Structure 1
């Protein structure tokens, strides 16, 4: 008798190890600040502010999240500086074991009610041994029904996604993926945009202190012959600090440094250099970028 299979990652998390290695902790686009606090009544407040390096406008979110673990209920309300109100209601493991139901709405108020931007998405996530599936219904757009599923066995993963426009009565997009996950490495291949573009990612935990990864994307619409390649690495200097570096085939080198200054306080610094334009000045904007991010979590 075979052992129970673990729950595989969701469709959006296929290739997550490589994506996190290559995308996270590089705050070179500007300056960011995030503050989290939690009350004794299980309400978490989060304030996030961002300012792009080429703009003087500060964008921010104010979020309040209430979590009732005994009833599997999570309520999140967010108000942005763009005057968008967002509400998310999650019910986990109450209607059926392994089933999570989610209602996500947003509203951008306007003096003209007809011009107000509104969204409403209903979703359900169901996961069991060796199976992880999601379904979404965009009530106000289309409406559109989107579903994805991932099957996993002994580290091997196979998944697919499809979107169906109810009004038009046809599939608007579909994608497939396959991969293999092991404790120290992961490989994932995606076929996107109705199998017209492809990506492959690789992640390897070389040792307890060193990680490496790469990603290649083939899209006929891209420059450089339709292929974009990016490789990167992460090295822990000690238990409180690490450095990251990555470079792509366009010659852009990115560096990141993250330091835990004390419990609940983390600072990150990032820089991106265009190695093909080290001595050039672009009148449309900065060729090289530098930024920082601070996170307070009490």
Structure 2
């Protein structure tokens, strides 16, 4: 977790980050069996190379007992497994165990095991994560809210070293039509502020500013974006940052169960330049089939 409770600032993050598939070509197919098992096949080819990455996922739900089992096998020969238990131990409590195994005889294999717990009630949301094999590291975050005001904090504790390895704070205000959030990250060494506004039923706007001494341009980066619904089945998105990169996205529901998205990123400061290290401008598309 890089932010205290990602729900803080989620509206602006989704507006500025989602539905811009300009990194390559992606295809996702979902099917559901009569017994309720969901299969998903996803593939992605990056625009800068010819490598195709993919995964096969199977998801099974046992609603009566609040149990969900998900297994994924990737083309990188990584086997991932997730077991979730929701609202069984206590109302509002969700537990899950996520593991991954990458067999590699030369390196001795790569394994991860993460235990997650999330507890949510009105005006209170807390999570705890234990990375069993790395560290081990224990991370916890909590958000409390009242009358639209939200305050959150996060801390990571390295069990082996016996010290706090990372901490962060956040505060925000959420209203039906707008949201404002401020984050203090990386042990309070970098800061971000985001704003989201639903201008009307068809138009959304948002912005995000980040101050990080490690960044160029004086340590400050700014990004603004907007989303406009053309009709009930299509919308367009646009954003630009202070580095002059303009991104455009278009998403269309072609029919029930079939969605297509197209993305374009233009570096407005290098419109006529050719970079031997890679493409200056990026274009991509994504197709999702669901039955």
* TM-score using structure 1 length: 0.95
Q: Deviations over 1:127-165 (max 9, x none)?
A: 112100000111111111000000011110000000000
Q: Count matched residues.
A: 288
Q: Deviations over 1:228-270 (max 9, x none)?
A: 0000000001111110000000000000111110001000000
Task: Tell me the equivalent position of 1:110.
Answer: 104
Matched, 1:132 2:125: yes
Matched, 1:52 2:77: no
Task: Tell me the equivalent position of 2:172.
Answer: 179
Task: Tell me the equivalent position of 1:6.
Answer: none
Task: Tell me the equivalent position of 2:83.
Answer: 89
Task: Tell me the equivalent position of 2:143.
Answer: 150
SS at match of 1:11: coil
Task: Tell me the equivalent position of 2:275.
Answer: 282
Matched, 1:214 2:207: yes
Task: Tell me the equivalent position of 2:92.
Answer: 98
Matched, 1:233 2:226: yes
| 1:61 Cα deviation from its structure 2 partner | 1.1
SS at match of 1:115: coil
Matched, 1:27 2:21: yes
What is the root-mean-square deviation of aligned Cα atoms in Å?
A: 0.9
Task: Tell me the equivalent position of 1:68.
Answer: 62
Matched, 1:36 2:37: no
Instruction: Tell me, in whole angstroms, the C-alpha distance in 2 between the residues paired with 1:242 and 1:128.
Output: 34
Unaligned runs of 5+ in 1: 1-9
Task: Tell me the equivalent position of 1:15.
Answer: 9
| 1:110 Cα deviation from its structure 2 partner | 2.0
Instruction: Tell me, in whole angstroms, the C-alpha distance in 2 between the residues paired with 1:232 and 1:149.
Output: 29
SS at match of 2:12: helix
Instruction: Tell me, in whole angstroms, the C-alpha distance in 2 between the residues paired with 1:285 and 1:128.
Output: 48
Unaligned runs of 5+ in 2: none
Q: Deviations over 1:49-99 (max 9, x none)?
A: 001001100001111000111110000000000000000000001111111
Runs ≥4 in structure 1, deviation > 2 angstroms? none
